[in-house]
């Protein structure tokens, strides 16, 4: 009997200890939560106080990190002081607190950008708030722009199927609503952006060099005509990467050397076609293209293909624009088993300059066809075992889509394109018509061309992907 009583006492003591431990754990958890909420509340109060006490012409309120938005650049380009949230907002209630301060004060406020997570806040919740309405009344000239967030595909890939579908629906609903009652720009379906984690400082937050250009970029405004396409792009990209339906050709055994103009030469960073081609295919790419270069030239100071070849060989007095020249030079004659492909892309500057076309059998570098004969022969000598591919210029939006003649007796852009293709084919070289390859109707060229001539981020990504496919054939 005593043994049973002792065992019972032990069980009671043990149960008591378990209950006490559970209570302690719960208390500790509650204390941690309280501490976290206190810190969060303190950060919010300090942020609101900073907004209330300052005088700002540019304000960016965001539910995502915006640390990379430069105050110096905003001051330079917008001519005013900037306020940005130091911590991401977490709810519509927090947003309303910021809007109340803006509505009650900030008389110099001219630009307001709202970074919204549609999975957390709907457009109706925000636009239907009293503070939102008052802000529009007190600042009738305000430039108010919404930025629905655009996380990378890595974010979407880890969501459950139910979570993913729910969030895609929320994004679609937000885009639909804001298209009717606000101004917004959305990049969530831009594959060139969301598929490249290197373009993000952290999830939901872009690198500093991208934040300013993407405040309002052509081709991404949410309108009554575009919102469905933007929502469809998002769904297509998300599902493609979630399902693993993304494949780029393996060109890791290929070395690509690019001669050309600003289509390649003006964009040598991660957003340039050359770097994208390298990242997506594994090819070893050397970008020797220089902005403004052409097949031929009128003045000695003009840049042409002959100068790029001289720079490669180290025989030019002109300064090498980047390290790719020395690296490519060091590999001349390399016998490492890699296939070499030389891409040669010129023509649009010949059109702009109204340069003389010349004749197919010409040996004069002062004409387009003559320069092709001379310099393609030089490239065959430098790269005897390489495949040389000539790229003819794509479409432009300037000068009536290239239909204007730029000099007396000169042809249209289509004339230059046709002549370049014909001359290269006559020499037995592979050709690529960039107008045909990029396959974009004239009324939609604004989606891939930024300034009338040069490809934007979307266009450069498309070019790189298409080139990868062509080189793999």
DSSP 380-413: HHHSTTSEEEEEEP---SHHHHHTS-SSTT---H
Write out pLDDT tens, residues 2-13.
Answer: 554 554 555 555
H/E run at residue 59: strand 58-62
292 and 170 share a domain?
Answer: no
Give dist(CA 446, CA 264) in Å, integer: 19
Q: How confident is the model at residue 409, as a pLDDT?
A: 81
Helix (H, G, I), strand (E, B) or coil at 12: helix
Write out pLDDT tens, residues 256-286.
Answer: 999 999 999 999 999 999 999 999 999 999 9
**CA 329 remoteness from chain centre:** 31
Boundary (domain end) residue, out of 242, 274, 307:
242
Any idea which of 40-49, 166-175, 290-299 has the lowest mean pLDDT? Answer: 40-49
The answer to whether residue 94 scores a pLDDT higher than 50 is yes
Per the domain annotation, does 9 fall within a domain? no
Q: Buried b vs exposed e over 238-251: b needs ≥16 C-beta within 10 Å?
A: beebbeeeeebbeb
| Residue pair 290/344 in contact by the 8 Å Cβ criterion | no
The answer to whether residue 24 scores a pLDDT higher than 60 is no
Per the domain annotation, does 427 fall within a domain? yes
The answer to whether residue 1 scores a pLDDT higher than 90 is no
Mean pLDDT of the chain: 91
Any idea which of 21-30, 57-66, 163-172 has the lowest mean pLDDT? Answer: 21-30
Q: How confident is the model at residue 10, as a pLDDT?
A: 56
Residue 460: name the closest of 263, 202, 252 by CA: 263
Give dist(CA 400, CA 429) in Å, integer: 31
CATH number of the domain that residue 334 is part of: 3.40.50.1110
Q: How confident is the model at residue 298, as a pLDDT?
A: 82
Write out pLDDT tens, residues 108-125.
Answer: 999 999 999 999 999 999
Sign of the four-CA dihedral 301, 302, 307, 308 = positive
Per the domain annotation, does 159 fall within a domain? yes
Backbone angles phi, psi at 389, to 5 degrees: -120, 125
Two tokens, residue 287:
């970008």
Per the domain annotation, does 465 fall within a domain? yes
Tell me the helix, strand and coil percentages in the chain, rounded to 5: 50, 15, 35
Per the domain annotation, does 205 fall within a domain? yes
| Residue pair 396/402 in contact by the 8 Å Cβ criterion | yes
177 and 287 share a domain?
Answer: no
Two tokens, residue 146:
């919404």
Two tokens, residue 363:
């040996």
Boundary (domain end) residue, out of 181, 207, 242:
242
Two tokens, residue 304:
């042409």
Dihedral angle, C-alpha 454, 249, 430, 358, nearest 10 °: 10
Per the domain annotation, does 32 fall within a domain? no
pTM: 0.83
166 and 120 share a domain?
Answer: yes
What's the distance, Cα to Cα, between the start and end of the chain in Å?
89
| Residue pair 338/383 in contact by the 8 Å Cβ criterion | no
Give dist(CA 81, CA 323) in Å, integer: 38
191 and 323 share a domain?
Answer: no
What mean pLDDT do residues 298-305 have?
89
Indicate the number of domains in the chain. 2
What mean pLDDT do residues 323-346 have?
94
The answer to whether residue 19 scores a pLDDT higher than 70 is no
259 and 199 share a domain?
Answer: no
| pLDDT band (50, 70, 90) for residue 51 | very high
More confident residue, 391 or 16: 391
H/E run at residue 341: strand 339-345
Sign of the four-CA dihedral 239, 241, 243, 249 = positive
Q: How confident is the model at residue 236, as a pLDDT?
A: 96
223 and 112 share a domain?
Answer: yes
Write out pLDDT tens, residues 402-426.
Answer: 999 998 889 999 999 999 999 999 9
Per the domain annotation, does 14 fall within a domain? no
196 and 324 share a domain?
Answer: no
Give dist(CA 101, CA 32) in Å, integer: 31
What mean pLDDT do residues 38-50 have?
80
421 forms beta bridges with none
336 and 224 share a domain?
Answer: no
307 and 213 share a domain?
Answer: no
Q: How confident is the model at residue 238, as a pLDDT?
A: 97
Domain of 384? 254-472
Q: How confident is the model at residue 467, as a pLDDT?
A: 97
Write out pLDDT tens, residues 371-384.
Answer: 999 999 999 999 99
The answer to whether residue 347 scores a pLDDT higher than 50 is yes
201 and 224 share a domain?
Answer: yes
Give dist(CA 342, CA 161) in Å, integer: 44
**CA 217 remoteness from chain centre:** 10
More confident residue, 218 or 243: 243
162 and 303 share a domain?
Answer: no
Q: How confident is the model at residue 182, as a pLDDT?
A: 87
Per the domain annotation, does 2 fall within a domain? no
42-46, 227-231, 246-250 — most confident range: 227-231
Write out pLDDT tens, residues 230-258.
Answer: 999 999 999 999 999 888 999 999 999 99
What mean pLDDT do residues 421-432 have?
97
Write out pLDDT tens, residues 146-198.
Answer: 999 999 999 999 999 999 999 999 999 999 999 998 899 999 999 999 999 89
117 and 59 share a domain?
Answer: yes
Give dist(CA 340, CA 332) in Å, integer: 10
Dihedral angle, C-alpha 213, 214, 219, 225, nearest 10 °: -150
The answer to whether residue 301 scores a pLDDT higher than 90 is no
């Amino acid at each position: 009997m005593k043994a049973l009583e002792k065992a019972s006492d032990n069980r009671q003591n043990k149960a008591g200890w378990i209950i006490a431990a559970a209570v302690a754990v719960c208390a500790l958890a509650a204390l941690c939560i309280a501490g976290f909420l206190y810190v969060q509340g303190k950060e919010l109060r300090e942020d609101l106080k900073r907004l209330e006490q300052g005088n700002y012409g540019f304000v960016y309120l965001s539910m995502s990190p915006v640390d990379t938005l430069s105050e110096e650049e905003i001051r330079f380009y917008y001519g005013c002081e900037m306020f940005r949230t130091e911590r991401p907002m977490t709810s519509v209630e927090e947003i309303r607190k910021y809007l109340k301060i803006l509505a009650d004060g900030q008389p110099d406020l001219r630009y307001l950008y709202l970074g919204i997570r549609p999975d957390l806040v709907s457009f109706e919740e925000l636009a239907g708030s009293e503070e939102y309405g008052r802000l529009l009344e007190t600042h009738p000239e305000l430039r108010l722009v919404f930025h629905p967030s655009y996380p990378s595909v890595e974010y979407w890939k880890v969501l459950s199927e139910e979570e993913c579908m729910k969030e895609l629906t929320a994004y679609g609903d937000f885009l639909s609503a804001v298209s009717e009652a606000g101004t917004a720009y959305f990049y969530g379906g831009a594959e060139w952006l969301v598929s490249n984690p290197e373009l993000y400082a952290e999830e939901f937050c872009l690198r500093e060099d991208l934040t300013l250009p993407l405040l309002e970029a052509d081709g991404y405004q949410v309108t009554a005509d575009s919102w469905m396409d933007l929502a469809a792009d998002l769904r297509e990209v998300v599902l493609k990467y979630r399902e693993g339906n993304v494949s780029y050709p393996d060109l890791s055994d290929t070395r690509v050397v690019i001669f050309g103009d600003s289509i390649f030469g003006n964009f040598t960073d991660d957003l340039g076609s050359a770097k994208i081609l390298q990242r997506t295919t594994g090819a070893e790419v050397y970008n020797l293209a220089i902005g403004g270069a052409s097949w031929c030239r009128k003045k000695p100071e003009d840049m042409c293909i002959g100068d790029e070849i001289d720079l490669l060989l180290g025989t030019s007095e002109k300064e090498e624009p980047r390290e790719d020249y020395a690296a490519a030079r060091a590999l001349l004659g390399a016998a490492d088993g890699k296939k070499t492909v030389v891409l040669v892309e010129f023509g649009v500057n010949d059109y702009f300059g109204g340069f003389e076309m010349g004749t197919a059998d010409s040996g004069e570098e002062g004409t387009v066809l003559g320069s092709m004969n001379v310099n393609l022969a030089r490239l065959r000598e430098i790269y005897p075992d390489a495949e040389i591919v000539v790229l003819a210029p794509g479409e432009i939006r300037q000068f009536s889509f290239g239909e204007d003649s730029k000099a007396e007796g000169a042809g249209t852009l289509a004339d230059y394109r046709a002549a370049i293709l014909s001359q290269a084919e006559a020499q037995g070289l592979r050709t690529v018509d960039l107008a045909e390859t990029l396959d974009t109707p004239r009324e939609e060229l604004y989606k891939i061309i930024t300034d009338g001539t040069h490809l934007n981020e979307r266009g450069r990504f498309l070019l790189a992907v298409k080139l990868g496919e062509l080189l793999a054939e």
